[in-house]
Structure 1
Amino acid sequence: MLYWLLYQKLFPYFHPFRIFQYLTFRTAFSSLTALLIALIIGPYVIEKLRQFQISQYIRDEGPESHKKKSGTPTMGGVLIAIAILLPTVLWSNPSNPFVWVVVFSTIGFGAIGFADDYIKVVKRRNLGLTARAKMFWQVIVSLMIAITLVGLQQFRIFSTKMTVPFVKNFHPDLVWPWLGSIPHLGFLMFLPFVIFVTLVLVFSSNAVNLTDGLDGLAIGCTIIAAGALTVLTYVSGHVVFADYLELQRMPKVGELTVFCGAMVGASIGFLWYNAHPAEVFMGDVGSLALGGAIATVAVIIRQELLLPFIGGIFVLEAISVILQVGSYKLRGGKRIFKMAPLHHHFELLGWKESKVIARFWIAALVFALFALTTLKLR
C-alpha cells in the first residue's frame, strides 16, 4: 500500500520517494515494522487472552515437567498473523498476485488453526477439530492455492517446472501434456502439480504444528526457515543473481521477499514473549499459518525440494511421529522413541528443555545453511 501510494502515485511529485522502488529497502522496513507490531501489541494480546481465559491444556500423557505450563495463554498465533500481514500489505506491491496468494495461505491455514484452538478452549480439552475435519479443510485450502497457481501459469508469470537441487539443467514439469489435446479434459494435465502442491502444503503445515511443543522451539526454527526463504526468494526474482546461479527466473516472485521479511520480524517479536519460560503459546492458529506460508513461498519460487532442509527440524519432527505411529500399529505396540514428536524423546532422555531448544535451533541453522549452499553447488 505504501509502495503504491508513495512510489507509484507521489514519486513524480517528490523524487526521494523513489527509494520505495527498491526491494531491499521495503523488505528491511517490512521486517522492522513486523517486529515493532509484535513487540508493541504483544502485551495487550496476551492480557486479552488471559481475560478470556484462553489458556493451554496440557495432556496427561505429556512430560511431567510440562504440567506447570497449564494455564499459559495460547492462540498467540493471532499476534503473529497480524504482525506478518499488516507489514506485507503496507510495504509490498498490491498489484503482485503472488503476494495475495501467500496472504490467502496465511489466513486460510490460520483460520483452520483458529477453529481448532477455539474448540479446545470452549470444550476445555486437548482435542479441537477432528483429524478428518482438520485434514479436509487443509486439503481444501491447499487445492485453492494450487489451482490459483495453475491459473497464473496460463498468464506465463508462473512455471510448473521444478528446480532440482545440485542439478543445473533438469527441470521436471509436473504436468501430463498428452491430456492437453483431449477435448474437455485439458485441465487434467495439471493434476500431478495440483496433487503435489497439496501434499507439500498439508505436510508442511502439520510439521510446524507438531514442532510447537517447547517454549520458543517452533518460532525459533521459523525465524531460520523464513530467513533462508528471504534469500532464496530475492535471488529467484533478481535478474543478475538468477542468471548467475542458473535458477528459473520469475521476476514477480521477488515481491515475496517483503512477505518473508515480515515473517522474520514477526517471529522475532513473538519469540520475545514465547522464549522459555513462555508467556504465551502460538497455538494451532500460529503453527498452521506459519507452516502453510513457508510451504506456499517455497512452491511459488519452485524450491519445494529444498523444504526438507529449509525446515529440517519440522521434517524430522513430523517423520518421528509417522514412524512412532507406524511402529506402534505394525509392531504390536512397540515404540521407536520414548515419546513423539522428537523433542519429547530427548526430554525423556534427561535433556533440559532449554538444551533441547538450543540444540534444535543449531540443527535448524545447519539445515538452512546447507539449503543455501545448493544454490552454488549445481
Structure 2
Amino acid sequence: MLIVSALVSWFLVGLFITFSKRYGWGQPIRQEGPQSHLKKEGTPTAGGIPFVIALLLVWLVLLLTGHGGGRSETLLMLVGLGMGAIGLVDDVLKIRSRMVGGGKKELLAREKFPAQFLVGLVFAIFAAPLAPHVWLPGWGLYGDIALYTFVMVGAVNAFNFTDGLDSLLGGVSIIVLLPILGVSPVSVLLVGVLLGFLWFNAHPARVFMGDMGSHAIGGIVAGAFILHADVWMLPIAAIIPVVAVLSVVLQVLYFRRTGGKRLFRMSPIQHHFEELGWPETHVTLRFWLVTALGTAIVWGILRGLPALS
C-alpha cells in the first residue's frame, strides 16, 4: 500500500499544483526572512491538503477491506486529521489574505494552542489505555494523559517549525517513521504520501507543504511513538524538530532578556545556517543525516541491539 499511497499522493499533489497556479494560491514570502527565499514568492502552498486527502482515501480503502488496523490506527488517523484541520484553517487564511489583499493573515499562537491542546487531550485520553507503558509511576492514568497531551502539542509545533526548506520536513518525517513501519499501517501510508509529495517538493520546490501537512505529520508521528514504541525515543529520532522548536523558544527568550539582541542569526535553526552561508540543499541533506543517526539509535534500542559504539 506504500506504493499505492505514493501514486495517489503524486496524482493529487500534481493536480493541486495545476489548480493553485490557475487560481493564484501562491505563498507569500516574509521580507525579513532569508533573502534567497524571495524568489520563491508565488509558489503554490498548502500542498499538505492533497497528500492528507490521499492518506485518508487509501486508509479508508484499507479499513473497508479489513486491513486498516485496530483502534490504535484509527486513533492515529483521527489525531492526524484533527491537527491537520487546525493547520488547514491557517493555510486558508494565508491564501485568502494574499488573494484579497487583506483580512486576517493567519491563526495567532493564542488561537492555535487551545485547539491543539484540545485535540491532544482527546487523543491522550483514548491513547493512555492503549499505550504499551505507564510512564509516570504514582500518577497513574492521569499522569500519562498529561504527558501524552504535552508530547502531542509539542510535536505538532516542532514539526511545524521544521518546515521552511525544500524537502526538509518531508525527508525528516520519513526517516523518523522508519522504526514504526512494521507495526503501523497508517505510518506506512504517511511515508507513501510523503514520497508522492516530495516528487514536487524537491529543490527547487514546485509546491510548499503548509500548516495542514506539518500539523498532520506531527500528530501522526507523535501518536505512532506513543502507541507503538516508546514516547521517550521520539525526541532522539526527531532531534531536528526538537532543535527547531527550541531554537525559536530560545531566540524569543534571549531577545526579550537582552532588549533586542539575537541568539541566532535567524530562527528556526535551519535559517540560521542559511544565514551563515550554507546552501539550502546542504542544510536539508545534513539535517536528514542527523535525523538518520538519531533514528538509527532508536531503532537499535527498540530492537535490543548491541550498543552502537
TM-score after normalising by structure 2: 0.91
Tell me the distance in 2 between the aligned counterparts of 1:94 and 1:260: 11
Gaps of 5+ in 2: none
1:170-220 per-position Cα deviation (integer Å, ceiling 9, x unaligned):
xx54x535xxxxxxxxxxxx3322211111011111111111111111111
Q: Is the 8 A contact 2:13 2:51 kept in 1?
A: no
Structure 1 vs Structure 2 CA RMSD: 1.8
Tell me the distance in 1 between the aligned counterparts of 2:89 and 2:44: 16
Identify the residue that residue 228 of structure 2 maps to in structure 1. 301
Residues 91 and 61 of structure 1: is their aligned pair in 2 closer, same or farther, counting only changes over 3 Å?
same
The Cα shift of 1:331 comes to: 2.2
Q: Secondary structure at the match of 1:57?
A: coil
Identify the residue that residue 273 of structure 1 maps to in structure 2. 200
Q: Is the 8 A contact 2:237 2:295 kept in 1?
A: yes
Q: Is the 8 A contact 1:310 1:371 kept in 2?
A: yes
Q: Is the 8 A contact 2:134 2:144 kept in 1?
A: no
Identify the residue that residue 151 of structure 2 maps to in structure 1. 200
Q: Larger Cα Rg: Structure 1 or Structure 2?
A: 1
The Cα shift of 1:43 comes to: 1.6
Q: Is the 8 A contact 1:106 1:293 kept in 2?
A: yes
Identify the residue that residue 111 of structure 1 maps to in structure 2. 85
Q: Secondary structure at the match of 1:279?
A: coil
Residues 352 and 158 of structure 1: is their aligned pair in 2 closer, same or farther, counting only changes over 3 Å?
closer
Q: Is the 8 A contact 1:88 1:259 kept in 2?
A: yes
Q: Secondary structure at the match of 2:205?
A: coil
Identify the residue that residue 246 of structure 1 maps to in structure 2. none
Q: Is the 8 A contact 1:160 1:193 kept in 2?
A: no
Tell me the distance in 1 between the aligned counterparts of 2:70 and 2:233: 24
Tell me the distance in 2 between the aligned counterparts of 1:285 and 1:331: 35
Q: 2:139 aligns with which of 161, 168, 176?
A: 176
Identify the residue that residue 62 of structure 2 maps to in structure 1. 91
Q: Secondary structure at the match of 2:43?
A: coil
Tell me the distance in 1 between the aligned counterparts of 2:219 and 2:79: 6
Identify the residue that residue 101 of structure 1 maps to in structure 2. 75
Q: 1:121 aligns with which of 68, 75, 95?
A: 95
Identify the residue that residue 49 of structure 1 maps to in structure 2. 20
Identify the residue that residue 371 of structure 1 maps to in structure 2. 298
Matches within 5 A, 1:117-196: 117-124=91-98, 127-150=105-128, 153=129, 157-162=130-135, 172-173=136-137, 176=139, 190-196=141-147
Identify the residue that residue 168 of structure 1 maps to in structure 2. none
TM-score after normalising by structure 1: 0.75
Gaps of 5+ in 1: 1-29, 163-171, 178-189, 235-253
Q: Is the 8 A contact 1:229 1:310 kept in 2?
A: no
2:189 pairs with 1:218: no
Identify the residue that residue 239 of structure 1 maps to in structure 2. none
Identify the residue that residue 34 of structure 2 maps to in structure 1. 63
Tell me the distance in 1 between the aligned counterparts of 2:86 and 2:44: 19
1:17-45 per-position Cα deviation (integer Å, ceiling 9, x unaligned):
xxxxxxxxxxxxx2111111122222211
Tell me the distance in 2 between the aligned counterparts of 1:335 and 1:353: 22
Aligned AA for 2:159?
V
Q: Is the 8 A contact 1:142 1:201 kept in 2?
A: yes
Identify the residue that residue 4 of structure 2 maps to in structure 1. 33
Task: Name the % identity.
Answer: 36
Identify the residue that residue 8 of structure 1 maps to in structure 2. none
The Cα shift of 1:89 comes to: 2.7
Extract structure 1 runs of 4+ deviating beyond 6 A. Answer: none
Matches within 5 A, 1:233-272: 234=182, 254=183, 257-272=184-199
Q: Secondary structure at the match of 1:374?
A: helix
